[in-house]
């Protein structure tokens, strides 16, 4: 049996951790480090109550209200040591979360999807139900949910909330109607296709709607609301289209419904068919048609004195004793609606006089294509005849024109008579004149060469009669004057063929035979192309040149400033005679047929037929006991050296001096030759060195 500790109170540790509690009877547990008697209290230690004994304890409170609280427990051991107040803070929550919608849901909507948002009074888990379908829709103190596309009809959304301790809140419910269909408009089936200028349109809608109206797609107006509508408006004549559409309360916009109609505000239009007489006798008859059945009124010259003249879709009227002169026949129609049409007028002339022909002032001399004009006192049909021919039709009107081609030279007479539209014949009128068909004759008086190196040419000519000259240079028209003589100087022309053409036209328009002058302008000298290869130095006393030219030419040559003959043509060749050594010059130029001269081409070269001369500068004994010899020499000009030692070729260089060292040679007789060849191939006379090697090197030492 243990010993009691009379100084140490029991230590109590709370082991509960269930806060918050969803019940008003929360339970608490604890442990003590020694056997003790416990007392417990809620929120206030003044109200401790016994709550067990031992090393562990459990206490269940009663009727604890929602909110934050403190649980106290205190232990007293057997030695009556009282422990500290042990506190455990907890909360009681027996109320479910409250939710409310933060989004506005209309009673009706055209949208197939609806977006909802809400808030909760505490953190909660959300379940959303649309009609009969439930889904998890988040957690927290705020939430949102968008429905799937919904069909038209009534729909209900329910939000269920459960807090973290399992308390269920009151469900939040909202309902609405989905309506995505648009109003359908139907026009009154009795709407007319033709109307007056103030038509009335009526229609019905498949549902209550706000109406918009449109006439001819010009301006849209608001035109009422409800399940039906009507509109009366003023409109101009002609075809029109009236359109109406409806928008329901949910904003669903229906299709435009169109009604096409025509407004007839015009009176009948009277038209005179073709063939109405413009010139008549005293009792003319006129006919007409109308665009619609009408009552007609007719009159002559005065629209204030019209009289009835039948009705229907066409009409006819005949006048009596209308005096000569210009008049107007007037018809107007009235349709069954009282609409007056426009006045229809037909102008005509009553005429019994004959036409009088007057010739214009005409020349008494023409070419074979005369043009004769006249006027008539009135509109007439003309007949003409030349000399003794029969009359033939030749136009009509208030004036006339006659022409004929290739009339022969001589005197002629033209007769013209007129007959007016009432067939009244006038007296013939005659015109006499002479015909001249001969053109001027040209003669070229200048002499133009067929080829020239001048860019300009002067051409002169004479004419058999005064004339206007027509000239062309290379097909381009140029001004070249008039008279009995002509003179034209071309501008500077490019190389090539050229053509000048001149013709003469006399005062009657007769054209002579053109004269043509042709020539070729060539200002370019011939081009020389050398075909021979001409080096600046040669060992040949004769020197040859060959060349080609691009055109035939005379060749002019000089050799050392002395003229020499070198031929002509398109190719040339010249070979010099034997020339002495030294510098020489050959000059070549070409002159074409019109004197164009090529700039001289000058060639310079040196003739060298002398071979180089070798002079030995070393002294080689005829007998020696030295197996190697050094041989040197000079040349009077730069040269390539050709050497042999005992008949074998050896390399011995080039220049204006040379040196050759033999290898060790055996005892006996030896020969070295050297000759020089200059750059032109001239080969000099060889130089020969001979010697004998008499004893060996060892004998020499002894």
The tokens describing 282, both together, are: 């005293």
Q: Give me the pLDDT at residue 701, please.
A: 37
Q: Give me the pLDDT at residue 7, please.
A: 76
Residue with tokens 């001369």: 613
Helix, strand or coil for residue 282?
coil
* Fold for the domain defined by 185-263: Immunoglobulin-like (2.60.40)
Domain spanning 270-350: which CATH class is it, in words?
Answer: mainly beta
For the domain spanning 442-521, the CATH number is 2.60.40.10
Q: Single out the residue of 172, 181, 151 nearest to residue 105, CA to CA.
A: 172
The CATH architecture of the domain made up of 614-693 is Sandwich (2.60)
DSSP letter for each residue of 606-651: EE--PPP-EEE-S---SEES-S--EEEEEEEEEEEEEEEETTEEEE
pLDDT digits (tens, 9 = 90+) for 510-522: 898 999 999 888 8
**Ranges of residues in the chain whose predicted pLDDT is under 50:** 1-3, 696-702
What distance in Å separates the CA atoms of residue 71 and residue 14, rounded to the nearest whole number?
A: 10
Cα angle: 173, vertex 179, 184; to 5 degrees: 165
Is the Cβ–Cβ distance between 117 and 105 less than 8 Å?
no
What distance in Å separates the CA atoms of residue 614 and residue 631, rounded to the nearest whole number?
A: 12
Q: What is the pTM of this model?
A: 0.35
Q: Give me the pLDDT at residue 267, please.
A: 84
Q: Give me the pLDDT at residue 370, please.
A: 86
- In total, the chain counts a number of residues equal to 702
The tokens describing 415, both together, are: 């007769």
Helix, strand or coil for residue 229?
strand
Q: Single out the residue of 685, 680, 610, 608 nearest to residue 642, CA to CA.
A: 685
Residue with tokens 């109405």: 276
β partners of residue 602: 587
Q: Give me the pLDDT at residue 390, please.
A: 92
List the chain domain ranges.
Answer: 12-92, 99-178, 185-263, 270-350, 357-435, 442-521, 528-607, 614-693
Is the Cβ–Cβ distance between 240 and 215 less than 8 Å?
yes
What distance in Å separates the CA atoms of residue 540 and residue 139, rounded to the nearest whole number?
A: 120
DSSP letter for each residue of 376-444: EEEEEEEEEEETTSPPEEEEEEEEEEEE-S-PPSEEEEEEEEEEETT-PBPPPEEEEEEE--PPP-EEE
What distance in Å separates the CA atoms of residue 18 and residue 28, rounded to the nearest whole number?
A: 9
* Fold for the domain defined by 12-92: Immunoglobulin-like (2.60.40)
Domain spanning 528-607: which CATH class is it, in words?
Answer: mainly beta
The tokens describing 457, both together, are: 């040419």
What distance in Å separates the CA atoms of residue 491 and residue 649, rounded to the nearest whole number?
A: 77
CATH topology of 442-521 equal to that of 528-607? Answer: yes
Q: What are phi and psi of 492, to 5 degrees?
A: -65, 120
For the domain spanning 357-435, the CATH number is 2.60.40.10
Beta strands at 257-263 and 194-195: parallel, antiparallel or unpaired? parallel
- Please tell me the CATH superfamily of domain 99-178, with its number: Immunoglobulins (2.60.40.10)
């Amino acid at each position: 049996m243990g010993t009691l500790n009379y100084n140490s109170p029991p230590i109590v540790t709370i082991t509960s951790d269930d806060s918050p509690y969803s019940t008003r009877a929360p339970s608490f547990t604890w442990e003590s480090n020694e056997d003790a008697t416990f007392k417990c209290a809620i929120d206030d230690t003044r109200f401790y109550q016994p709550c067990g004994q031992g090393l562990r304890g459990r206490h269940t409170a009663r009727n604890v209200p929602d909110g934050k609280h403190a649980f106290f427990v205190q232990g007293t051991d057997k030695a009556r040591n009282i422990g500290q107040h042990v506190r455990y803070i907890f909360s009681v929550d027996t109320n479910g979360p409250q939710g409310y919608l933060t989004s506005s849901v209309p009673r009706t909507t055209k949208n197939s999807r609806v977006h909802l948002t809400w808030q909760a009074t505490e953190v909660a888990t959300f379940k959303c139900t649309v009609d009969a379908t439930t889904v998890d829709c988040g957690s927290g103190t705020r939430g949102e949910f968008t429905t799937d596309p919904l069909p038209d009809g009534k729909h209900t959304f329910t939000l269920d909330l459960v807090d973290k301790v399992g308390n269920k809140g009151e469900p939040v419910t909202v309902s609405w109607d989905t309506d995505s269909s648009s109003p359908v408009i139907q026009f009154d089936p009795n709407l007319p296709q033709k109307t007056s200028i103030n038509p009335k349109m009526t229609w019905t809608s498949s549902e209550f709607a706000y109406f918009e109206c449109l006439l001819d797609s010009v301006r849209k107006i608001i035109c009422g609301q409800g399940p039906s509508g009507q509109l009366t408006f003023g409109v101009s004549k002609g075809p029109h289209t009236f359109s109406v559409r409806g928008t329901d309360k949910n904003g669903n916009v229906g299709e435009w419904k169109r009604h096409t109609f025509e407004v007839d505000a015009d009176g009948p239009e009277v038209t005179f068919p073709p063939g109405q007489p413009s010139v008549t006798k005293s009792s003319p008859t006129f006919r007409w048609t109308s665009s619609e059945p009408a009552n007609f009124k007719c009159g002559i010259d005065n629209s204030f004195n019209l009289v009835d003249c039948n009705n229907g879709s066409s009409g006819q009227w005949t006048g009596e004793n209308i005096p000569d002169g210009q008049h107007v026949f007037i018809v107007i129609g009235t349709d069954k609606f009282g609409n007056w049409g426009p006045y229809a007028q037909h102008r005509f002339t009553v005429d019994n006089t004959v036409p009088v022909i007057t010739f214009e002032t005409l020349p008494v001399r023409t070419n074979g294509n005369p043009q004769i004009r006249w006027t008539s006192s009135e509109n007439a049909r003309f007949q003409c005849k030349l000399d003794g021919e029969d009359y033939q039709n030749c136009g009509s009107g208030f004036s006339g024109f006659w022409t004929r081609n290739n009339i022969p030279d001589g005197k002629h007479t033209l007769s013209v008579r007129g007959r007016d539209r009432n067939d009244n014949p006038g007296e013939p009128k005659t015109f006499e004149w002479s015909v001249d068909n001969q053109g001027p004759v040209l003669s070229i008086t200048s002499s133009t060469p067929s080829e020239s190196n001048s860019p300009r040419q002067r051409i002169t000519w004479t004419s058999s009669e005064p004339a206007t000259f027509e000239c062309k240079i290379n097909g381009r028209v140029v001004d070249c004057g008039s008279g009995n003589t002509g003179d034209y100087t071309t501008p500077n022309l490019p190389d090539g063929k050229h053509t000048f053409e001149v013709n003469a036209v006399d005062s009657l328009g007769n054209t002579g035979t053109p004269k043509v002058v042709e020539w070729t302008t060539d200002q370019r000298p011939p081009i020389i192309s050398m075909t021979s290869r001409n080096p600046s130095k040669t060992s040949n006393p004769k020197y040859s040149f060959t060349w080609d030219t691009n055109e035939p030419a005379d060749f002019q040559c000089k050799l050392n400033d002395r003229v020499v003959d070198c031929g002509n043509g398109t190719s040339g060749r010249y070979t010099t005679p034997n020339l002495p050594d030294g510098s020489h010059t050959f000059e070549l130029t070409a002159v074409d047929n019109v004197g164009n001269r090529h700039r001289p081409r000058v060639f310079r070269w040196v003739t060298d037929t002398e071979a180089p001369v070798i002079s030995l500068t070393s002294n080689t004994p005829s007998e020696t006991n030295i197996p190697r010899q050094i041989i040197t020499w000079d040349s009077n000009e730069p040269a390539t050296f050709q050497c042999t030692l005992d008949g074998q070729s050896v390399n011995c260089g080039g220049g204006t001096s040379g040196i050759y060292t033999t290898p060790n040679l055996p005892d006996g007789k030896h020969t070295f030759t050297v000759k020089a060849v200059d750059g032109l191939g001239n080969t000099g006379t060889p130089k020969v060195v001979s010697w004998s090697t008499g004893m060996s090197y060892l004998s020499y030492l002894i």
